Amino acid sequence: MLSFTLNGLKFRNPLILASGILDESGETMLKVIEHGAGGVVTKSIGIQEREGYENPVVYELPYGLLNAIGLANPGIENYGEEIRKAKEGGVPVIGSIFGGNAEEFVYLARKMEEYGADAVELNLSCPHARGYGMEIGTDEALVEEIVREVKRNIKIPVWAKITPNTDVVRIAKAAESADSLVLINTVKAMAIDIEAKMPVLSNKFGGLSGPCIKPIGVRAVYEVYREVEKPIIGVGGITTGKDAIEYLMAGASALQIGTAVYLRGVEVFFHIANEMVAWMKKHGYSHFTELVGIAQVR
């Protein structure tokens, strides 16, 4: 009911670990795979090691998480062993990368391919890193060039992860060379400590994730599905089987799970898979792909 193929890659289920959660090391990715994930996306990796911002970098809200980690990562030269370790789990491992221009993205993508990653995910969407992520991911010409150049230089599939903090359809169209689109990254947001009279996060602004952004993600998937003929991987607030089904009905062909790992523990992949299957059986569906895009009203 849940196995499928996307861009030539075989997945046992459509529930893929999203970038940035328990995925900086091969060991933690293996743990997530043991708990039922259909695939894993690594933490976004850049050219050089980065420490990220000073604390506080994560702030828990009643309805989600606000984070500005600052793309902390060990750097691409130190990352080969983590990919090799994660691959022992036997499911697709997708290498997430971030750069400041097409040349950097191409370098990083080639390295990920050399390390054995099954696909690369281009982070064109982090809302809190100066010179990276959303700053370049809102520029159509740059997005077009980066995706085209990466695609030209590697053989593995290329996924473009798009920010919701702009017109998603405009950027999705610019990423025309991508094999799949990933929608959405976090929503740019902030919180203020009224006693301290200052922003909570050291970076002031951060990215909002979790249940509160689900309607934004569902809307983004729905809008892009109508305009772009490419598989969409839906992400943003998926916490239960019903959330997963909502994204499928909007037009997603696969899903990613991030903040729900904090909310329901690493077993969340088993829980969501079981809840999806129960819902499909009750409603007479034999495979999840029958649900893709069925809520589209023309």
Any idea which residues carry the catalytic annotation?
126
Q: With beta carbons less than 8 A apart as the criterion, state whether 162 and 137 touch.
A: yes
In the complex, minimum distance from the CB of residue 134 to ligand FMN, in angstroms, rounded to a whole number: 10
Most distant pair of Cα atoms in the chain: their distance: 54
In the complex, minimum distance from the CB of residue 210 to ligand FMN, in angstroms, rounded to a whole number: 5
Contact residues for ligand FMN, defined by CB under 6 A = 18-21, 43-44, 58, 65, 67, 69, 96, 123, 126, 161, 185-186, 209-210, 213, 235-238, 257-260
Measured from the CB atom, is 151 or 161 closer to ligand FMN? 161
In the complex, minimum distance from the CB of residue 207 to ligand FMN, in angstroms, rounded to a whole number: 6
Measured from the CB atom, is 71 or 156 closer to ligand FMN? 71
20 dihedral zone (left: phi>0; alpha: psi -120 to 50; beta): left
In the complex, residue closest to ligand FMN by CB: 20
Burial per residue of 88-115, b for 16 or more beta-carbon CB atoms within 10 angstroms, e otherwise = ebebbbbbbbbbbebebbbbbbebbbeb
In the complex, minimum distance from the CB of residue 71 to ligand FMN, in angstroms, rounded to a whole number: 6
Measured from the CB atom, is 189 or 213 closer to ligand FMN? 213
Which of 16, 23, 3, 8 has its CA nearest to residue 157?
8
Measured from the CB atom, is 228 or 243 closer to ligand FMN? 243
